[in-house]
Structure 1
Amino acid sequence: MKQTHSLLRGGALFCSLLLTGSALAAVSADEAAKLQGSLTPIGAERGASSDGKIPAWNGGLKTPLQFAANGTPLDPFKDEQPLFSIDASNYEQYREQLSPGQIALLQRFPNSFRLPVYPTHRSVAVEHSTAQAAARNAITTRLVNDGNGLEGFAGVVAFPLPQNGLEVLWNHLTRSRNASSSLTNDSAAPQKDGSYTIMTTQQYFTRRDAVQGLEPDEARNILYYYSHKITAPSRMVGEVVLVHETLDQIAEPRLSWLYSAGQRRVRRAPSIAYDTAGPTTAGLRTADSRDMFNGAPDRYDWKLVGKKTLYVPYNSYRLASPELSYEELIQPGHVSPEATRYELHRVWEVVATLKPGMRHIYSKRHYFIDEDTWAILEADHYDSRGELWRVGEAHSFYHPTGKAAVNAMEVTYDLNNGRYIASGLTNEQRQPFDFGYQASASDYSPGALRSKGLR
């Protein structure tokens, strides 16, 4: 009865939004109503695929999860075995369900790289507040300033019914994440022989609407606040980065600052954007490749190819397990495939091509975005000659405490030099996740950097 009441209340809210927002409607009322029918509340196809390999979405995981001592959910699918594995000997028969980057990795490491394929589970739930925001945004949100900003947007999921590539990209940028959280995680960029040094960072993320004490009209053009401080290795301890991520980065560029413990001063860092490579990336990832893509979309033309089915990393609980050591995971050339999990899912396909006269080390970027989360799961990056250069993968899982999908690992492979960087690792952290983190505006002020950076 309680659930029925909630659904009725949600339906009433949706209808009222259709009436009050019709003057600004980004899609028609009939189209928006699909979010209550054939589509999930954030725009994925609710039904199963015609062959039954992709099941219908029924609200996400139904079984309560157990947790490891460090707060990581235990694998609810631990008893499943791979249906099959895709490797260099058989990938041709699965080519249509593989990204160009996955094929390139199979060719680059024919004797060791593979994709273990498991049954598909649509495990990501949609919170009531997320559904409300998506329903509202469907009829009020529009692209402005040549697609570099949003009008009428609030909360999460700007375009649950996207009409073009830019709108799909904005869904990744505005996807549902825990409103305010902190995360202690590790990264490694192994040498060709497999040797590596672990770098540890403490990261903080807060959406503008979750900042305590912030008036509604304050920081109107802010999408979220982010900062991180390096806590290992010792030579880098005390370096802190602060970012005020602006919604329209052409009207108001991203605001960023850096505190250097060695110099003991805070300075503006406008270069933390686009194709710069910071000290935490080993030169293997650009600033706008963190989180698969972030920042301003203005340097590219974004083409929506459509939707397709793809074998993507999914439900990567085992990859985040505290029982898996970094020594087991970090291998020469690529991460160990033993703990990875790939499933067949529907994804949006978007191609970004560098605009004439614009500068970036990537001439083209090819993205595959999960329909159930709007997160980019596969990313292919091409050099100035049009050759595939780097491949990104986000291995995610649904965290019921955070009520959102999080990454067990984000990895970028460099096909030319055979190296990679794996970030977001939490396996060896004692308490990596804090979804109860609360922040005020002062916590994300430049003045707070110095205190965070004290060794």
Structure 2
Amino acid sequence: MIQTSLRRLALATVVASACTTVFAQSADYSKLGTTLTPMGAEKAGNAAGTIPAWDGGLSKPPAGFDANKGYLDPFANEKPLFTVTAANMEQYKDKLAPGQMELMKRFPTFKMVVYPSHRTAAYRADIYKYAKEEAGSIKLAEGGNGILNLKKSNVPFPIPTEGVQVIWNHIMRDLGGSIHRISADFPVQTNGSYTLGKREETIAFASYMNDPEPNRIFYYMNKTLAPANAAGEVALVHEPLNQVQEPRLAWQYNPGQRRVIRAPELAYDSPGIGADGLRTNDDFNAFNGAPDRYNWKLIGKKEMFIAYNNYKLTSKDLKYSQILGQSHVNQDLVRYEPHRVWVVEGTLKPGARHIYSKRVFYIDEDSWTILHGDQYDSRGGLWRVREVFGVQLYNAPTFAQAGEVIYDLQARRYLVNALTNEEKPVEFGTKYSVADFSTAALRRVGR
């Protein structure tokens, strides 16, 4: 009996020692910039050769680039490797998310055209510098609902060990320091009809500003330009870094009343502005805001077909009507590639309220961008499927989106966000001050 207990104790000690060793290896920050990229991705390609090694990405515009004419596609002459449809998806199911397979089952015209993989994600040198300098010193706040000890880094957890850390990497990821853009949104009905929504957005990351307030990730201003019945509404958000210490600060300007009011409802699962009930506020940008209502489980990494290098979708020659189909976007315009992604499953905490009982996100290892999401209703049924059309915006440089879409499987409608084909070029890198995101500035923008 004693010998058996001793053997069990010895085995437990070996297992514990092995786990400790694995954790120590996974948290070896000296690997950043060597065997790992500066962002924490595996620098090497995969064994099959279908995913290449990262060689620095695409950080400079090609010759002849003119922002007014749109992005030049460095892969325009490539031919597809194959196309995944409902007829052959079982052959590729290990590289697909449940939501992708469900879309192919429900809509016979939904397909995924797969091209060779290119790891183009690249950022400014200071993004890499701060990611390595601060790695290991940044900690999660109580319950994972915030970050402590962060100074300038946009990648708080380049070698994550918890699901919520991956979510924070997505929330914090750099988008060019600051962005100013006009973009179009389209809620598409079951018969293919749609209403144009248009917004003017400005976002400035605190790490890129000279005078940010303490405890800030970014500042965000959104002015509705269309449809006419909502034009002139403006929302302002100050996003805290530690949301245990301070929840999201939000205000709205109502053009009818000509006054600024606090808007604490601009968070979680309240209906998103201009979305016709097809997304929540925390659906925007794939996921945003406080992560505290979910338990986030780190499932691990997998190889997957995701929408990547979608330069074709950014073309200024495209009209919005060419992108929007009846049941889904024009899949001939969407480019899929094999890439490695982190898989994180968020399950609603007991007693917490949200319309989604579970969310499963697939996050690009090179950019920490959520590029696919499956979201489930209160009965556990797959409800909304999200696709983000990733693209490397080499003039910033940053990895962002050519647009994103949410398919509502129950309503059989979908919502497209963040299209810029018929708009002015997106502006990156403007230096903003806190005064640009004050309530007085909100009032001025509204008027």
Scaled by the length of structure 1, the TM-score of the pair is 0.90
- How far apart are 1:30 and its partner, in Å? 7.4
Given that 2:213 and 2:434 are in contact with CA atoms closer than 8 Å, whether structure 1 keeps it comes out as no
Are 1:416 and 2:418 counterparts?
Answer: no
5+ residue gaps, structure 1, are 1-25
Report the Cα offset of residue 437 of structure 1: 2.4
CA contact (8 A) 1:44 1:371 kept: yes
Contact 1:116 1:342 in 2 (8 A): yes
Counterpart position of 2:89 = 91
Q: CA deviation at 1:62?
A: 7.4
Q: Which amino acid aligns with 2:51?
A: I
Instruction: Give the counterpart of 2:432 among 413, 433, 439.
Output: 439
Tell me, in whole angstroms, the C-alpha distance in 1 between the residues paired with 2:71 and 2:213: 35
The question of whether the paired residues in 1 share the 8 Å contact of 2:86 and 2:105 is answered with yes
Q: Report the Cα offset of residue 440 of structure 1.
A: 1.5
2:333 to 321, 339, 345: 339
Identity of aligned residues (%): 45
Q: Distance in 1 between matches of 2:354 and 2:27?
A: 41
Structure 1 partner of 2:373: 379
Q: What residue identity is the alignment partner of 2:188?
A: P
Shift of 1:64: 4.1
How many Å separate the matches in 2 of 1:137 and 1:381? 33
2:80 pairs, out of 72, 79, 82, with 82
Counterpart for residue 182 of structure 2: 184
Q: Is 2:30 the partner of 1:55?
A: no
SS at 1:449 equivalent? helix
Q: Deviations over 1:386-445 (max 9, x none)?
A: 00000111102111221101211111110111111101000111x231114231111100
Structure 2 counterpart of 1:153: 150
Deviates more, 1:45-54 or 1:56-65: 56-65
Which secondary structure does the structure 2 equivalent of 1:235 belong to?
coil
The reply to whether residue 172 of structure 1 matches residue 180 of structure 2 is no
Contact 1:275 1:360 in 2 (8 A): yes
**Change beyond 3 A, Cα 1:378–1:361:** same
Query: How far does residue 369 in structure 1 lie from its aligned partner after superposition?
Result: 0.3
Which amino acid is the alignment partner of residue 278 of structure 1? G
Deviations 1:212-257 (A, max 9, x none): 4x1xxx6211110001101122222111000000112232110000
Q: In structure 2, what residue type is equivalent to 1:437?
A: T
Distance in 2 (CA, whole Å) between partners of 1:267 and 1:83 is 53
Distance 2:244 2:141 in 1: 11
Q: Distance in 2 between matches of 1:259 and 1:52?
A: 53
Q: Is the 8 A contact 1:350 1:367 kept in 2?
A: yes
Match of 1:451 in 2: 444
Distance (whole Å) between structure 1 residues aligned to residue 443 and residue 234 of structure 2: 8
1:69: how far off?
Answer: 5.5
Which residue type is aligned with residue 80 of structure 2? P
For 2:196 and 2:216, the matched residues in 1 are separated by 32
Q: Give the structure 2 partner of residue 360 of structure 1.
A: 354
| Secondary structure of 2:236's aligned partner | strand
User: Given that residues 141 and 244 in structure 2 are in contact (C-alpha distance below 8 angstroms), is that contact kept between their aligned partners in structure 1?
Assistant: no
Mapping 1:286-325, distance limit 5 Å: 286-325=280-319
1:192-211 equivalent positions in 2, closer than 5 A = 192-211=190-209
Determine if the alignment matches structure 1 residue 103 to structure 2 residue 101. yes
Corresponding letter in the other structure for 1:51: A
Moved over 3 A (4+): 26-30, 66-69
Correspondence 1:114 to 2:111: yes
Task: Judge which range, 434-443 or 364-373, deviates more.
Answer: 434-443
Separation in 2 of the partners of 1:232 and 1:282? 13
Distance across 2 between alignment mates of 1:206 and 1:171? 17
128, 132, 135: which one pairs with 1:131? 128
Aligned partner of 1:350 in structure 2 is 344
> In 2, Cα distance between the equivalents of 1:29 and 1:326?
45
Shift of residue 145, structure 1, vs aligned partner: 1.1
Superposed displacement of residue 163, structure 1 = 0.8
Contact 1:59 1:126 (8 Å CA) reproduced? no
- Aligned residue in 1 for 2:65: 67
1:29 and 1:96 map into 2 onto residues whose CA distance is 25
Cα distance change on mapping 1:400 and 1:280 into 2, 3 Å: same
Q: Which residue of 2 aligns with 1:257?
A: 251
1:72 deviates by 2.6
Q: Deviation per CA, 1:355-387: give whole Å up to 9, x if none.
A: 111110000000000000000000110000000
Equivalent residues of 2:59, 2:397 under 8 A apart: no
Alpha-carbon shift at residue 46 of structure 1 (Å): 0.3
Asked whether the 8 Å contact 1:250–1:296 carries over to 2, the reply is no
**Shift in Å, 1:191:** 1.3
Work out whether residues 205 and 227 of structure 1, in 8 Å CA contact, stay in contact via their aligned partners in 2. yes
8 A contact 1:369–1:378 mirrored in 2:
yes
**Is 1:273 aligned to residue 271 of structure 2?**
no
Contact 1:124–1:404 (8 Å) recurs in 2? yes
Structure 2 contact 59–394 (Cα < 8 Å) conserved: no
C-alpha contact (below 8 Å) 2:177/2:429 kept by paired residues: no
Cα shift at 1:63:
7.4
Following superposition, the deviation at residue 71 of structure 1 comes to 5.3
- Change in Cα spacing, 1:36 to 1:148, as seen in structure 2 (3 Å) is same
Kindly indicate whether the alpha-carbon contact (under 8 Å) linking 1:27 and 1:139 is maintained by their aligned counterparts in 2.
no
- Matched residue type, 1:332: Q
What is the number of equivalent residue pairs in this alignment?
423
Paired with 2:40 and 2:272, the residues of 1 have a C-alpha distance of: 35
Gap change, CA 1:205 and 1:71, over 3 Å in 2: farther
Contact kept, 8 Å, 1:68 with 1:322, in 2: the verdict is no
Superposition deviation, residue 70 in structure 1: 2.2
Note closer, same or farther for the CA distance 1:303–1:124 as it changes in structure 2 (3 Å cut): same
What root-mean-square deviation, in Å, do the aligned CA atoms of Structure 1 and Structure 2 show? 1.6
Answer yes or no: is 1:403 the counterpart of 2:397: yes
Unpaired runs of 5+ residues, structure 2, are 1-22
